[in-house]
Amino acid sequence: MSTSYEVRPRFVREIALWWQGELDRHAAGGETPDPPPHREVMERFGCTEEESLRGVGLGEHRHFSGVE
């Protein structure tokens, strides 16, 4: 669906894999951290807020859907 938001797929993928990894790592210790603030993600990856939002959301989905 074409939206007014422009995102770079590479950033969405990188952020998703990173956040999924973080959730997987914490889950091993019985924790489930809340998603990080966008500013933190934007600084870490040099991405836009929209890319951060979608990347983290995708990471959440992948973790809770059991995607390896």
CA dihedral (57, 14, 50, 54) in degrees, to 10, reads -20
What does the angle CA 68 – CA 53 – CA 17 come to, to the nearest 5 degrees? Answer: 25
Contacts with another protein in 5-64 (CB under 8 A)?
A: 5, 7, 9-10, 12-13, 16, 32, 34-35, 53-58, 60-62, 64
Measured distance CA(15)–CA(40) in Å, rounded: 12
Task: Tell me the closest approach of the beta carbon of residue 7 to another protein, in angstroms.
Answer: 6
Binding site for another protein (CB under 8 A): 1-3, 5, 7, 9-10, 12-13, 16, 32, 34-35, 53-58, 60-62, 64-67
